[in-house]
Amino acid sequence: MTLSADPAAILEPETIEEASFLRDTMRAFRRNRMAMVGLAFVVLLVLGAVFAPWISPHDPYRVELDEQLLPMSATYWLGTDNFGRDVLTRILYGARISLVVGIVPSLVSLLIGTVLGILSGYMGGKTDFVVMRLADMMIAFPSLLLAMVVMYTLGANLLNIFLALALVGWASVARVVRSQTLALREKEFIEAARANGTSRAVIMFSHIFPNVVPTLIVLFSLSIPEAIMWESSLSFLGVGVQPPEASWGLLVAKGKEYMFQAPAVAIAPGVAILLTVMAFNFIGDGLRDALDPSMKD
């Protein structure tokens, strides 16, 4: 890459004050329309979930047996389910659980996987052996069974769902991060950092980690839908979220029995999952591009 005759045309003159990395990133992110749409959707969803008790038109738990499986109407925008409960209300309440279940365990497994993956890849030797054999065990073991065992022995509540999902999820993150670290540690800039007397901890944190971040963001946006799916599987099998609580997975699972009488009962929460997953993917793509210095010009 060469600079043109007038370098100032490319690099805006700046003072000695540091240009904020965060501000640069935000500016690049705002320019990405799809990412902004995704962000808007997620913000709306979060607001809807937080304020569900105030904005939802009906009680999510009240059973009205003479109003079962009603079609869409002005009163029930998305119809009612087999107990006569408003589907829209249930989706809003379900968003609370599904969002939390999507985000928290993803973050936890990402954190564990990143730390272990970088350690394993950079330190090599015994550390690498121990971490990778642990990861192999996790991946070799049927993860649904593992999650079910956790849920069954510890009891079906939200905290244990987090635990089970993080336990299942960290190993694949660690593998991806390790392989990236293995490639990065051979790079000349790592050797240059070592030639500066940089300690191993600093190299791992401030040289390798920033290079892994784009991958982590993609992994994160992929693992949110996965976690939502995991939660629905567990709920479907009866060890996850317990009725009458609502999560999107549970709503799809229960609603599918009435697919032909009232398709909205199953399809509406399914669409909610689909839109949320897409929104997170757009945000992930936008963030990845915004964090890549070579895309910022």
Please tell me whether residue 12 binds other proteins under the rule CB under 8 A. Answer: yes
Q: Does residue 23 belong to the site contacting other proteins (CB under 8 A)?
A: no
Asked whether 94 and 247 are in contact (CB, 8 A), the reply is: yes
The binder of other proteins chosen from 22, 153, 196, 201 (CB under 8 A): 196
Q: Which of these segments, 3-11, 41-49, 255-263, 281-289, binds other proteins (CB under 8 A)?
A: 3-11
57-86 positions binding other proteins, by CB under 8 A: none
Task: Decide: is 4 part of the binding site for other proteins (CB under 8 A).
Answer: no
Contact status: 145 vs other proteins (CB under 8 A) = no
Candidates 93-101, 141-149, 184-192, 233-241: pick the segment binding other proteins (CB under 8 A). 184-192
Contacts of 47 (CB under 8 A, 6+ apart): none
Q: Quote the strand ranges of 70-186, DSSP E.
A: none
* 34 torsion bin: left (phi>0), alpha (psi -120 to 50), beta (else): alpha
Query: For other proteins, which residue of 136, 189, 244, 259 counts as binding (CB under 8 A)?
Result: 189
- Residues facing residue 217 across a β-bridge: none
Q: Are 274 and 249 in contact (CB under 8 A)?
A: no
202 binding other proteins? (CB under 8 A): yes
- Which two tokens mark 280? 């997170």
Size of the site for other proteins (CB under 8 A): 39
Q: Does 292 bind other proteins (CB under 8 A)?
A: yes
Tally the C-alpha atoms within 13 A of residue 14's C-alpha that lie toward its C-beta.
8
- Residue 193 within binding range of other proteins, rule CB under 8 A: yes
Closer to other proteins by Cβ: residue 137 or 202: 202
Burial (CB count <10 Å: 0-12, 13-18, 19+), residue 124: middle
Q: For residues 181 and 118, is the Cβ–Cβ distance under 8 A?
A: yes
- In the complex, the smallest distance separating the C-beta of residue 297 from other proteins, rounded to whole angstroms, is 8
Please check whether residue 254 is in contact with residue 87, taking contact to mean a CB–CB distance below 8 angstroms. no
Q: Write out the residues near other proteins by the rule CB under 8 A.
A: 1-3, 7-8, 10-16, 18-19, 21, 187-189, 191-199, 202, 206-207, 210-211, 213, 291-294, 296-297
